[in-house]
Amino acid sequence: MPTIAFASVGCKLNRYEIQVMSEALRPYGFETVPFSKPADCYVINTCSVTSDADLSSRQLIRRARRRNPLGKVIATGCYAQLQPNDIKELDVDAVISNRDKENLPAVICQLFDIPVNLDGRGNIPIITGMMGMTRAFVKIQDGCDDECTFCTIWMARGPVRSRQVYQIIEEINKLSENDYKEVALTGVHIGKYNNDGLDFTGLLRTLLLGTSIPRIRLSSLNPTEITDDLIALMIEHKRLCPHIHLSVQAGDDGILQAMGRKYRAADVLAITAQLTDSIPNITIGADFIVGFPGESIEAFENTRHLIAEGDFHHLHIFPYSDRPGTKASIFDGKVVAGEKVRRTAMLRELGHTKRIQHLESFVGKPLHVLFENRGMKSNMTGLSDNYLRVDAALDLRFLGEIVEAVPSEICGEHLITNTITGTVPDKKELTF
């Protein structure tokens, strides 16, 4: 039985896709092993959202080749799509573009002289689990049409395509049957979902009716996609996690316009205020890019002011890096590397302060936490429905379960609990 190992760089969608690949190859006798172990074949699902992602992708490919010089090494994903010649120079056996990713099982079988009874397309299974994870990701769409000036993902992933509703429901129900308690809906731009006459909020309503999994979590949305209907749905249905992550990117109107974003800083402040006023205990995260071409000191200060004034509770701060082929890569006004480092550090420190303030507000309050072990010997860790990390002493009864826990203190950016009071109401009670 040939062994195969997978690794992904970047987004939840990449992580979902390697699970699909693993399950598609299982009927052909492939045994999935950890990427850290010797394997007959390695598959790296690459990312190209930043130059650091490019570097990480190359490092994983080289690491795979070192682990088994005689093994097969396959590269796919966004970096492989955009820079296939760079990938080919790294001594790989095959480069599979995003557009041909569904053909990957057939390509691998051919490398091992294993007969295949599929044509490479239309035979990809729904996933039934997610390797090493207590929570699962579920893909609802792919592609993006926005063409933001700093981003290559719309080139790497192509236009928006939305998955059939019945497939999403079937996959969530299968995961629920296999005792998963939470799924996170993922894609390149999930707010653009549109299929079977349903937009994104319509999809959520249908999933709430067609599934019974206790938690449905949303991944990143643009600020303009936070509608009154979406907020009303989150208020009505407690199975929708009170957690929103916004793809904001900047807090200066001139920079937002140069990025190709279709909102203003004041819109972001209004949306975060509406969310916190409407949804009790919500946690709001956000992405910001630092050092975009033309970002003056004043423009940076506008972003810092937005973060300070807005209801943000955890931040992902990325220093800008030129992406080949993007409009922004040829813009004037490049910010020097040292200044980007300084500004990034300032915003990360501000984000840490706001994170701690948010955590402090939940000390002594009961939270519904899904606990996992993550290989730790004496501790377990979990996520609350509002996306707070909670640690506790290991108790095997609670692993993989949603329970009520009362945090007593903060350690780093985690909450600590010594009090687990029991299980959360069952699935039927969570449907209100």
Residue 196: helix, strand or coil by DSSP? coil
User: Are 272 and 314 members of one domain?
Assistant: yes
| Of 111, 128, 161, the domain-final residue | 111
pLDDT of 101 reads 87
CB atoms within 10 A of CB 122: 7
**Weakly modelled stretches of the chain, pLDDT under 70:** 118-124, 375-376, 423-432
pLDDT of 125 reads 72
pLDDT of 123 reads 53
Main-chain phi, psi angles of 252, to 5 degrees: -115, 130
pLDDT of 118 reads 57
User: Are 318 and 426 members of one domain?
Assistant: no
| Of 360, 380, 402, the domain-final residue | 360
Residue 129 lies in a domain: no
Burial of 64 (0-12, 13-18, 19+ CB in 10 A): buried
pLDDT of 67 reads 93
User: Are 41 and 162 members of one domain?
Assistant: no
User: Are 289 and 390 members of one domain?
Assistant: no
| Of 63, 96, 111, the domain-final residue | 111
CATH of residue 174's domain is 3.80.30.20
Q: Hunting for tokens 């067609």 — which residue is that?
A: 210
Distance (Å, rounded) from C-alpha 140 to C-alpha 146?
18
The DSSP symbol for 396 reads G
Main-chain phi, psi angles of 46, to 5 degrees: -85, 165
Distance (Å, rounded) from C-alpha 308 to C-alpha 349?
11
CB atoms within 10 A of CB 151: 21
User: Are 426 and 404 members of one domain?
Assistant: yes
User: Are 270 and 307 members of one domain?
Assistant: yes
Residue 351 lies in a domain: yes
CATH of residue 60's domain is 3.40.50.280
User: Are 350 and 398 members of one domain?
Assistant: no
User: Are 145 and 255 members of one domain?
Assistant: yes
CB atoms within 10 A of CB 432: 9
User: Are 355 and 310 members of one domain?
Assistant: yes
Q: How many domains does the chain have?
A: 3
Q: Is the pTM of this model over 0.85?
A: yes
Measured in whole angstroms, the distance separating CA 376 from the mean position of its chain's CA atoms is 23
Asked whether the beta carbons of 137 and 168 are under 8 A apart, the reply is: no
Residue 230 lies in a domain: yes
User: Are 344 and 379 members of one domain?
Assistant: no
Residue 296 lies in a domain: yes
Residue 8 lies in a domain: yes
Asked whether the beta carbons of 55 and 81 are under 8 A apart, the reply is: no
Main-chain phi, psi angles of 120, to 5 degrees: 95, -10
Main-chain phi, psi angles of 153, to 5 degrees: -65, -35
pLDDT of 430 reads 35
Task: Supply the range of the domain harboring residue 54.
Answer: 3-111
Asked whether the beta carbons of 336 and 373 are under 8 A apart, the reply is: no
Residue 118 lies in a domain: no
Residue 332 lies in a domain: yes
User: Are 67 and 204 members of one domain?
Assistant: no
Residue 117 lies in a domain: no
Q: Cβ neighbours of residue 128 under 8 Å, at least 6 residues apart?
A: 23, 174, 175, 178
CATH of residue 382's domain is 2.40.50
pLDDT of 427 reads 40
The DSSP symbol for 221 reads B
User: Are 97 and 218 members of one domain?
Assistant: no
